[in-house]
Amino acid sequence: MTRVSKKLGPRMLRTLGAVVRVVVLSIIGFAISIPFVWMVGASFKPRAEVEEAHIVPREPTLDNYPVVLDRMPDPVTGQYLGLRFGRWYFNSIFVALSVTLLQVLTSSMAAYAFARMQWRGRDTVFLLYLATMMIPGVVTMIPNFQIMVSLQFLNTYRGLIIPAAFTAFGTFLLRQFMLSIPQAMDEAAKIDGAGHWRIFWDIVMPQARPGVIALAIITMLGAYQSFFWPLIMLNQEQYYPLPVGMLALDSTYGRQTELIMAATVMNVVPLILIFIIFQKYLVKGLQLGGVKG
């Protein structure tokens, strides 16, 4: 092995190692992308082809998308499906944006209290708050549902938004950023007469912007894909988000794979765009939040 290394040289070994890594990662990436590629291909297949193994449709068609959007009847049955896909799209985006806004606001304010303010029992309360992350969501599902019933939040946007507006993870993430900001900046602001509210908005929040962006992206993606809680809270179609509304394609109207794939493609497009646009902010925010504090 030593003789081979001497013959190849350090530079050649590094190049060979880089090539091997690229090849291995390319193979893994290709294997991971196969289901997504099949989903996109199936969304352009007619019903006669959709169960076949080939990925690329032999007779591609765009009819599946307007059928899902209720702009044309099903080519096979000749009937409109009556799906409220546009409404479900609006519900998902509205709920996701609302949850993201409230969660970032509440998490940043709680993080400021735990990171920049001195009060008795602060660290103990923070540890207890973090301990709530260890409780499985299934355990609190029934109590949360009973609270929503008592508040008359069933079949409302409030029932989807308010329970998700608070998170221990977001508080922990932003606290890590705020701990890395020098305390001297707070002291200088207090000398100039600034209170906690002004310090929070004008000094701390701009410095913690990478963490805020990372939390907003994570929250947006999670809220947009939420399924189990809306399934429990809602029984009226006008409030369904996309994941719940898409169940109609696999129940009421029978299994229509090509329509399910078309709806799924339209469902994941916003997620892909958000991830591509804000990828660098997400990675930077998580890296900084993991090493500071």
| Shared-domain flag, residues 260 and 154 | yes
Same domain flag for 133 and 232 = yes
- Sorting pLDDT into bands at 50, 70 and 90, what band is 288? low
Please, what is the average pLDDT of the chain?
85
Residue 121 in any domain: the answer is yes
pLDDT in tens, 109-146: 999 999 888 889 888 999 999 898 888 888 888 899 99
**What is the pLDDT at residue 293?**
44
**Domain range enclosing 276:** 85-291
* pTM for the whole structure: 0.83
Is residue 101 domain-shared with residue 185, that is, in the same domain?
Answer: yes
- 73: in domain: no
106 and 222 in a single domain? The answer is: yes
Q: Are residues 224 and 91 in the same domain?
A: yes
| CA distance readout (Å), 189 to 17, 105, 110 | 52, 22, 20
